[in-house]
Structure 1
Amino acid sequence: MAQAIEVNGVNGVHRPSSGSKRNQGLKVLIVGAGIGGLIAAVALRQQGHCVEIYEQSKFASETGAALHLAPNANGILRRLGIFAEHFGANPMERLTEYTAGGVRKRSMDLREANKQWQHPWLLAPRIELHNKLKQLVNSPKPSNERTRGSVRLQLSARVVEVDPASGRIRLEDGTEVEGDVVVGADGVHSVARKFVQGGDAEPFCDGKSAFRFLVPRQLALDDDDTRPLVEMEGELSIWYGADRRIIMYPTSDNTSLNFVCIHPEAESAADAADAGGDWNQQGNLERMLAIYSTFDPALLDLLRKAKRDSVKVWKLLDMKVLPTWTCERLTLLGDAAHPFLPHQGQGAGVAIEDAASLAVVLSEDLLPKDVPARLKLYEETRYDRANHIQEFSRIIGKDFKEGQDQPDMFGFTNFNFGHDEWDHSTQRLREWSWKRNPHVYWRMPIAFGPMPGPRQTHFGLVRDGSRSTFTTASIKFKTSRTLLQNLFPPMRKGWRFRSPGTVAYASFSQTTLNKMEWLGGSGYNHLGLYIHGVEYVKENGTVYSGTYLPILYESLTDPIVSGREELGMPKLYSSIDIYRRATSYRIRTGWQGALWGNFHLQELEEMDTAAVTGSISGEADDGILAYKYIPKAGRANKGIAAEEHVTFDPFAEAEPKPRVLRYYKANRASFEIDALDWEQLPTMHHVVSRLAELPIYEIVGAKVVEGEGVPDVSSARPV
């Protein structure tokens, strides 16, 4: 009989007909309550869905081990309100590699390098993470979650059959349950996998097995022979033999040492014969010591500190890449879809990413009839990345001979860590939704409507901007690379950041222009978001390095229309009011009285103008990158572009050249953006709401620059 744990009073969810409106979320059946399944449950509940988890075990045999929570996984946990450092996770601070004999090959201090990642790289006790997830699904929802979502966890409930068409599962005791979605999160020996195309693939041993166990760190510190191996907190150490290796790292606030000892499977076959993917198979301490008998004696002394009954052994299992993870209402995540070898510590991380992606694409407003299409979107979003990381793990796990080319560890790390799956999947869902409606007009930004004016008179004569004046106030801040990257054009092939980190830099910059000849001697204000360190790479390999401009607000119609038509600059209207005082500069932006932006530079201090280098913004980028999109006219051509290309305006070719007359540094600066709603910002809520999403990790600089000479941007051109 299945053991049920009831949460929020939900005992079975009525499934309405496919096309009906509903006041509650989807009914989601999750097969398996491992880390991936539980995180999917937490995330789907936050999306407002009613989740039922079916776990074959009683959770009675959980044992200790540790796992990596790399930045790509840890960021998702934090988004869900799970902070692993609160239950024993400690930072990964150093990587040290040895020969089998104990000769140090290299040691890398990672503390500075880890600052490029938005979230910390942690070494966490697996059992405590699992306990935290169980606590979350077995407890009432936090007050910030929607009231309609729920989770119901059933233990001792073995699923034996899935019907993808109906969303029905059958338990071993004959009970049948029907839902809108079935999620196979049941691990490497997945039952759910058998019901997708190619799911008859069987896991196979890659030729290696692994012992795993924990040792109290204090035991090693108390021994003069082993103390040097464990003195540094947060240090992951690897000892390499020709065909075997030992990995050790601390967890549980640096109080426990986690060991993974990988070796030829045949040498521990007597222990692992029945283990398969079972982490809890009893190992043999004496056999392990014999397998590593040629390793450093101090390391062997460390291994001897393991309790005999704590040593477990399991075969390392791999599986061919599945052609698909999804069939109608059924999809897979984690090891059920892509079993991982342990060599990058990304198995749990990729399962966490899968869970986040699934929760995003199964949005709160989704109707049951649309589930199969959304599950295919989930697969398309995750398939390549998961399989790439899976292949990286295979490569890193190979036995490399001395002098043989080594794998690109830094490239793998950047690929793995430099990713936020929640934000990535959110953007993929947006793009998928856009494509599903082929009859909409595309307008800037990314496409607006153009209007000539500042570059020539009515008679075609070039206008003179050399006596025009400018005052530019800018605030530079550190923020999320993924969210900035999501503001790249939807047709964004070739766009990238120079830096691989998950943090990036952008500026809100406001300029007041005056004495503009083409405006009869008057002027206007503009304010834009400038994303620094962006590169656009053409198909022929040519690279344009610049500051990317996704949106530029201006307070006057004429320059807006002109800049859109002639240059493809992504301009919108906003009121931009300036309050300038002796030591402060305040900007307020709005639309017909609805104020959406407040930017404040304080404690202005005049500096030497020689300090302004490069562009007026002071950035090292070569120019401004933007994206031009003009829709084709005619009702029969909705969604078809008349013109579409990347625009580049190089600073070096700006004419006339601006001349800086005064420069002020702001010792304090801040800004706030309020997205308001569609009623208050009926024409641009979709833009301001995206700007409001940008987190402010740090204000890194602010200034006011005054000068003369306003370039007419005539150097802007398609690339």
Structure 2
Amino acid sequence: MTAAPDPAPLKVLIVGGGIGGLTAATALRQEGHEVTVFERSKLDNEAGAAIHLGSNCNGLLRRLGLFAEDIGGNPTLGIVQYTAAGNLTFNLDLRKPNLLWKHSWLLVHRAHLHKALYRFAADPAGKGNPAEMKISSCVASVNAEVSTITLENGDVFKGDVVIGADGVHSITRKQVSKTAKPFGSGRSAFRFLIPKEEILADPETRDAVDGDGRMVMWMGNDRRLVMYPCSNNTLLNFVAIHPSKESDMPGDGWSTGGNKARLLEAYKEFCPIVRALLSKVNAETLSVWTLLDMDVLRSWTVGKLALMGDAAHPFLPHQGQGGGMAIEDAVSLGVLLGKGTRKEEVKERLRLYEVCRMERAHRIQEYTRLSGRDLEEAKKDGKELNMMEYQSYCFGHDEYDHTIQMLRKSNWTKTPDRFWRMPVAFGSMPGPRQDSFGLPHDGLQSTFVTASIKFRTSRTLLQNFFPSPAFSFSSPGTVATASIRMTTLGNMSWLGGGGYNFSGLFVHGVQYTKRDASVLRGSYCVVVFEDLADAILSGREELGMSKLGASIQVHQKEGEYAAGIDWRGVQFARMRLEGLHLPNSTSSMSAADKAPAMNDKLGEAEEGTFCYRYIPAVGRPGTADAEYAVFIPSEGASQTPNVIRTMLARKGDLAFEARDRQALPTLHHITARLAEIPVYEVVEARIDEGTGVEDLSQAFRIE
């Protein structure tokens, strides 16, 4: 069978070249896709401010190969909180080794991170095809159904998927909601950077930065000042959050030039050290942002379009997770649109992206809103922010691992009739009846060599092996027929071309009378010994066969065949065929000669083969979780064995030997019973060789 060619790479159009868009471009190019990024700016105006990279998003960047320490990222070594008057209220030392979070909580200059992400997305030396960067490209409209974007200059670009990473004032969001618009939260933020050396040089301010990586906050009722280091601890980043009316910001502009006088006025009631810090601000670099919020969107996707980052869920800055959530979105999309994703799967994968991301992003949004309330407001509503709960939920998450598992679960549901066996945490189990994707194996090229000895024996003894009164012999006589079959399988596709040996005892002429009085006829499988654990487990759990582990040795040479079964060197069964020869002619072969060996089906060529499934209940000895008869019909097999050569034996010999508890601690009770079976007469001894092995998927529970 010729393998299907790998799907062509997807053409991915990303609207927006910010941190989220560039992370998505990096993740998707590394999956082999053709990525184009459309950015309205010249990519030369990233804010002069810093960004938090918590363990949750720092680890994701590291997966992509970007180590923020290499671009000046500072580890957060402590969190200190003061009142507006300068009184200490909180001091958390984070310098001790962190055993909870695998990755560090870093503080990074936004421009440095943005530049690094641009390089990872566009550098030809990176993994995959470099993303094409179209700067100064203003997107006028998007068609989500046919995945096209139209620029303001009229140029149209066609892709397989469109990702809206165009921020809080998103154009692409209009495809998802015509009415959703960001609104002012009532807060704005001055942002600015001050060189650390300037603060240390001033006796009035040097104590504010006593340490190499502390985040320091001064909290007023309706305003706060946050300071933390970046750029290898050479710059201090400041965020001054205050009522919007006090920064006199026109319209709803974003990142508008600030006013130093307004800044100083807004914090005039704070302690002297805060006022001294703010006096050092360079008015020319001072920026002010209106902090925007937005009602929760019911959906982030439509057609072949998905929103991410602030386009999907604008974040207030109070917990520093806006960038982190955009990075998580990007990596989730990279997983869901991974290498090999077909064009026709895009819509489904985007819907799964919503399932992966919406609950988490919205929950962290709510945490952020709670932490941004005025102090008086927080006292009145009584809704306290549980910081341990928040940190555990936020930092203790890896979106890559989460999305990978969600994708696995989605793929599992596409083939609900898969076989599941323990351990179920790893998904459905590949085996003889399905591959890793739940599809059947091609067993036509597999090989088998089956040696069988059919013999007459005591019916009254054999019927003691029947597990329920529903089983009986079709004939009332005291003599019955049974077979020992020894099979060697090879070139098994489900074993990567390998094989194994098994041997079983089968009782012929058996019938099962159902509760409605109807009858099934076939052979009953008493026990099977196999030398491969995978085959034993699948046969026991999926088919209900009574399979046990043992070592099986087979020796075949011209005219002779010998095999033995042992457990850790203690042999308890053997069979031998002598005088092997080809039948004189096809016309002279008996019906039994012509009948193909049932090889993997392990039964006589009757209506089928019976076995009995019994699963014990945990903690309740003698009680079954499952107990019922199974039938494997001869008709309806997915693949029919092809006997290439049959050899008959002039003599066949078999024997079971009882062993004591010391020699066979787990099998002595079985070998003792098998050794009781008398051999009245060998009816037939033969070897069948051929290709094609059934998977027995036609097996069913009788009642």
SS in 2 for 1:56: coil
Query: What is the DSSP-based 3-state SS (H/G/I as helix, E as strand, rest coil) of the residue aligned with 2:184?
Result: strand
Q: Deviations over 1:237-290 (max 9, x none)?
A: 11111111111111111111100001111111x2x21453x22x1101111101
Q: 1:141 aligns with which of 118, 125, 149?
A: 125
Which residue in the other structure is 2:182 paired with? 203
Q: Which residue of 2 aligns with 1:161?
A: 141
Report Cα offsets for 1:440-493 as digits up to 9, x if no partner: 2222332889xxxxxxxx999xxxxxxxxxxxxxxxxxxxxxxxxxxxxxxxxx
Cα contact 1:114–1:121 (8 A) shared by 2 = no
**Within the alignment, does 1:82 sit opposite 2:61 as a pair?**
no
1:230 paired with 2:209, answer yes
Deviation for aligned residue 1:51: 0.3
Structure-2 change in CA distance of 1:645 and 1:194 (3 Å):
farther
For 1:326, which of 301, 304, 312 is the aligned residue?
Answer: 301
Change (3 A) 1:357 1:574: farther
Tell me how far apart the structure 1 counterparts of residues 78 and 146 of structure 2 sit (CA, whole Å). Answer: 50
3-state secondary structure, aligned to 1:115: coil
User: Are 1:273 and 2:250 matched, yes or no?
Assistant: yes
Partners of 1:73 and 1:572 lie apart in 2 by 49
SS in structure 1 at match of 2:141: strand
Aligned twin of 1:424: 402
Which of 435, 440, 452 is the equivalent residue of 2:418?
Answer: 440
Q: After superposition, where does 1:67-466 map in structure 2 within 5 Å?
A: 67-112=51-96, 114-142=98-126, 145-146=127-128, 149-196=129-176, 198-268=177-247, 270=248, 272-276=249-253, 278-279=254-255, 281-401=256-376, 405=382, 406-446=384-424
> Structure 2 CA distance, aligned partners of 1:26 and 1:84?
29
Deviation at 1:63, TM superposition (A): 3.3
Distance change >3 Å, CA 409–CA 168, structure 1 → 2: same
Maintained 8 Å contact 1:448/1:565: no
Alpha-carbon contact 1:199-1:322 (below 8 Å) kept: no
1:645 shift after superposition? 13
Question: 1:556 and 1:367 mapped to 2: Cα distance?
Answer: 37
Paired with 1:207 and 1:643, the residues of 2 have a C-alpha distance of 67
Alpha carbons of structure 1 residues 574 and 45: separation in structure 2 relative to 1, 3 Å: farther
Kept after mapping to 1: 8 A contact 2:318/2:372: yes
Deviation at 1:60, TM superposition (A): 3.1
User: 1:622 maps to which residue?
Assistant: none
Shift of the 395–646 alpha-carbon distance from structure 1 to 2, 3 Å rule, reads: farther
* CA displacement at 1:562 relative to structure 2: 12
Letter in 1 for 2:118: K
Match of 1:436, as an amino acid?
K
Give the AA of the match of 1:396.
S
Structure 1 pair 343/559, CA: closer, same or farther in 2 (3 Å)?
A: same
User: d(CA) in 2 for partners of 1:574 and 1:209?
Assistant: 75
Secondary structure of 1:106's aligned partner: strand
SS in 1 for 2:99: helix
Q: Displacement, 1:409?
A: 1.2
The two structures have a TM-score, normalised by structure 1, of: 0.59
Unaligned runs of 5+ in 1: 1-19, 450-457, 461-553, 576-641, 650-709, 711-719
Q: Deviations over 1:170-206 (max 9, x none)?
A: 000000111000000000000000001x352110011
Q: In the TM superposition, what whole-angstrom CA distance separates every residue of 1:375-405 from its partner, at most 9, and x where no partner exists?
A: 0011111110011111111111011238665
Contact 2:308 2:326 in 1 (8 A): yes
Provide closer, same or farther for how the CA distance between residues 443 and 316 of structure 1 changes in structure 2, counting only shifts above 3 A.
same
Q: Structure 1 residues 646 and 380, CA, compared in 2 at 3 Å: closer, same or farther?
A: farther
1:394-439 CA distances to partner (integer Å, 9 max, x unpaired)? 1110112386653101111110000111111111111100011123
Q: Retained in 2: the 8 A contact 1:193–1:200? A: no
Q: Which stretch shifts more, 165-174 or 556-565?
A: 556-565
The number of aligned residues is: 453
With over 3 angstroms needed to count, the CA separation of the structure-2 counterparts of 1:647 and 1:141, relative to structure 1, is farther
1:645 and 1:265 mapped to 2: Cα distance? 69
Contact 1:73–1:349 (CA<8 Å) still a contact in 2? yes
Question: Counterpart amino acid of 2:328?
Answer: E
Check 1:284–1:643 CA distance in 2 against 1; reply closer, same or farther (3 A cut): farther
Rate the CA distance shift 1:379–1:104 in 2: closer, same or farther, 3 A: same
**Aligned equivalents of 1:562, 1:441: Cα separation in 2:** 9
- Tell me how far apart the structure 2 counterparts of residues 287 and 235 of structure 1 sit (CA, whole Å): 27
CA contact (8 A) 1:29 1:52 kept: yes
3-state secondary structure, aligned to 1:150: coil
1-side partners of 2:174 and 2:353: how far apart? 19
Q: Structure 2: 5+ residue runs without aligned partners?
A: 431-464, 468-529, 552-612, 621-664, 666-703
Aligned to 1:596: none
1:525: which partner in 2? none
Q: 1:481-533: CA deviations, max 9, x gaps?
A: xxxxxxxxxxxxxxxxxxxxxxxxxxxxxxxxxxxxxxxxxxxxxxxxxxxxx
Counterparts of 1:424 and 1:645, CA distance in 2 = 34
User: Residue in 1 aligned with 2:640?
Assistant: none
Distance 2:219 2:56 in 1: 27
CA distance in 2, matches of 1:317, 1:429: 33
Structure 2: how far apart are the matches of 1:107 and 1:557? 57
Letter in 2 for 1:420: D
> Quick one: distance in 2 between partners of 1:177 and 1:386?
30
In the alignment, what sits opposite 2:591? none
Read off the aligned partner of 1:339 and give its amino acid letter: P
* Percent of aligned pairs sharing the same letter: 47
For 1:557 and 1:55, the matched residues in 2 are separated by 57
Contact 1:184 1:333 in 2 (8 A): yes
Question: 2:297 aligns to what SS in structure 1?
Answer: coil
- C-alpha displacement of 1:574: 13
Asked if the contact 1:343/1:393 (under 8 Å) is kept, the reply is yes
Matched, 1:49 2:26: no
Task: Name the structure 2 match of 1:531.
Answer: none
Q: Which has the larger radius of gyration?
A: 2
- Work out the CA distance in 1 between the residues paired with 2:159 and 2:532: 54
CA 1:304/1:426 → structure 2, altered by over 3 Å: closer, same or farther?
Answer: same
Cα deviation code 1:187-245 (max 9, x no counterpart) = 0000000001x352110011111101000111111111111111111100111111111
* Residues 48 and 150 in structure 1, CA contact (< 8 A), matched pair in contact too: no
Q: Distance in 1 between matches of 2:25 and 2:53?
A: 19
TM-score when scaled to structure 2? 0.60
* CA contact 2:7–2:341 (8 Å) conserved in 1: no
Matched ranges for 1:467-546 at <5 A: none
1:290-314 Cα distance to aligned partner (Å, 9 max, x none): 1100001111101111111111111
Q: 1:564 to 1:346 in 2, by over 3 A?
A: farther
For residues 83 and 558 of structure 1, the distance between their equivalents in structure 2, rounded to whole angstroms, comes to: 42
* 1:116 aligned counterpart, secondary structure: coil
Q: Give the structure 2 partner of residue 9 of structure 1.
A: none
CA distance in 1, matches of 2:616, 2:237: 53
RMSD: 3.3
Kept after mapping to 2: 8 A contact 1:275/1:314? no
Q: Distance in 2 between matches of 1:574 and 1:154?
A: 66
